[in-house]
Amino acid sequence: MSQQQPAPANSTSASVKDDGRDGRLSFRNFAETQLRKEFKAEAMKKCDLQVGAFAECIKEQGLWAPFRCKEFQKDVNECMAVYNSEERFELFKKEHQDEIDSKPYVQAGR
């Protein structure tokens, strides 16, 4: 009998799907999508305390989490609304415009 080895964590169907979608984006949209991912990752770091408390509540409450962790979810949503807003992304994009413009595939795609 052969044992199946577990798939690596980075080969989930969601990441495969995301990678495929990224390949279909235009060059400029690809650069902005990558920038959006960086922006969202920074927002998640800034909301780490709220996300951690929400995750802990979910772990403790199990199936009751949707009912008993609403306050934690509200805190996460409020934090993300501040740090992941469209206005902040536009500022972030302006701050990193040189990164977008310096990519050779972006210049060719204009």
**Which of 101, 86, 100 minimizes the C-alpha distance to 43?**
86
Confidence (pLDDT) at 32: 83
For residues 68 and 20, which has the higher predicted lDDT (pLDDT)?
A: 68
Q: pTM of the prediction?
A: 0.62
Region for residue 4 given its phi and psi (left: phi exceeds 0; alpha: psi -120 to 50; beta: otherwise): beta
Taking the C-alpha atoms of residue 37 and residue 55, their distance in angstroms, rounded to an integer, is 21
**CA Rg, the chain, in Å?**
19
CB 109 within 8 A of CB 31: no
For residues 3 and 96, which has the higher predicted lDDT (pLDDT)?
A: 96
Predicted confidence (pLDDT) per residue in 11-56, tens digit? 566 666 665 665 565 666 777 888 899 999 999 999 999 999 999 9
Taking the C-alpha atoms of residue 34 and residue 38, their distance in angstroms, rounded to an integer, is 6
Residue 40, CB half-sphere, CA atoms under 13 Å: how many? Answer: 6
Handedness of CA 23, 34, 74, 64 (dihedral sign): positive
